[in-house]
Chains A and B, each alone.
Chain A
Amino acid sequence: MVEKKPAEPTNVPSPEIADEDIFAAMKEISGYLDITPGDFKEVYHLAWRHARERLLRTAKAREIMTRDVAAVRADSPLQEVAELMARRGVSGVPVLDTADRVVGVISEKDFLKAMSSGGITSFMGVVAQCLQEKGCKALGIRKGKAADLMNAPAVTVAEDTQVLEVIKLFKEKGINRVPVLNSQARLTGIVSRGDLLDLAPSRGGRTL
């Protein structure tokens, strides 16, 4: 089991700004500003949205990835993998070999597939099947290792892959997360759909 130390957060959420904040800031600036706090607030929010959009167009995977990434070994027992995913509240983790290379990704979907038959990949599908058949197939994978269920080879991106490329990859491959590798092919982070959502403006009706 490999759990990396949290790094500095790279996704700064849109700070809410109050009229009092603007008023205080205007007081700090010497000289008369002929703009009302209300107008400034509007400019601020629009500018923030533009900054977000620019970030989405130009940002690299490195800038939006989650650095505190939970990963497992290829020979990690599935029970431990499941426990780690539950504890960290993630739906997928990269799988590393003994040389720390990413060899695959294992996700909830892989578990669900293994716990059912006929290609069911949703939790409720598995529940339905369990109820029909009086018994779960989860027990069947009890002795399994991460390598047995993982998706391999892993789809990965480089740190300087454009965020737009990452989005395309998600769509094309039907995946929800992608490990990010540095130039030495070492795992440095993971970009999930949630990281992409953080990029979207959090205010106003119009989104990206």
Chain B
Amino acid sequence: MKYFQKMRGNTKSPPRVSLAEIAWSWLGAFLGILAVALINYKFLGGTALVLLIGSFGASAVLIYGAIKSPLAQPRNLLGGHILSAIIGVSAYKLFPGDLWLAAPLAVATAIAVMHATRTLHPPGGATALIAVIGGAQIQALGYFYAVAPVGLGAVIMLVVALLINNIPKTRSYPEFWF
């Protein structure tokens, strides 16, 4: 019985944030993704390199929208993305012909490693998955995927977070570095 009772939940959702908080979240995310997207489309267009990957959209939610979260801190942002990238590439290299197996292996292992290294960053799961299912362009990068787009893109987004999140009096970022 307790098993099913647990499914009902036991508390309520946290309150909505202020309008100012919403506005700063929007601005940070806009500028952070803008910076990465500009480089991706204006400078790397036509090359084999990419800088913008889907998991950065998820990171933006955290580092511009939930900046106090332990999941949004630099250690988690950088560590989570880079470690997950390495794991994702490894999973693909282990089972290049069995993506149905490489995909769950990449994500699950990424979560385990992020937990173990105290770098849990939810978008890291997507970063690991993209290494497997991101198509020929990503797969061709091999382990360089962990440097760019993943490492470099995360650093650019971090710089924007540091610049924007510390402007309003009510905000401060990060809570801790490492």
Contacts and interface: CB of A to CB of B under 8 A. Distances in A.
Contacts of A36: 11-14
Nearest to A24: B15
A31 B11 contact: no
A44 interface: no
Nearest to A30: B170
Contacts of B18: 30
A27 B20 CA distance: 13
Interface residues of A, number: 15
Interface in A102-126: none
A160 interface: no
Given A31-B17, A32-B66, 19 more contacts: A19-B11, A23-B12, A23-B14, A26-B14, A27-B15, A30-B17, A30-B18, A30-B20, A31-B21, A31-B66, A31-B68, A31-B170, A32-B17, A32-B21, A32-B65, A33-B14, A33-B68, A34-B66, A36-B11
Contacts of B67: 31-32
Contact of B69 (A30, A32, A37, A38): A32
A19 B12 contact: yes
A27 B13 CA distance: 12
User: By DSSP majority rule, is chain B's interface helix, strand, loop, or mixed?
Assistant: loop
A30 B172 CA distance: 11
Interface residues of B, number: 18
Contacts of B15: 23, 26-27
Contacts of A19: 11-12
Interface of B: 10-15, 17-18, 20-21, 65-69, 71, 170-171
Contacts of A27: 15
27 contacts: A19-B12, A23-B14, A26-B14, A26-B15, A30-B20, A30-B21, A30-B170, A30-B171, A31-B17, A31-B21, A31-B67, A31-B68, A31-B170, A32-B14, A32-B21, A32-B66, A32-B67, A32-B69, A33-B14, A34-B14, A34-B66, A35-B14, A36-B12, A36-B14, A37-B12, A39-B11, A41-B11
Interface of A: 19, 23, 26-27, 30-39, 41
B65 to A, nearest CB: 6
Nearest to B9: A38
A193 B111 CA distance: 51
Nearest to B15: A27
B12 A31 contact: no
A33 B14 CA distance: 8
Contact of A38 (B11, B68, B71): B11
B17 A37 contact: no
A38 B14 CA distance: 10
A32 B71 CA distance: 12
Contacts of B10: 38
Contacts of B17: 30-32
B11 to A, nearest CB: 3
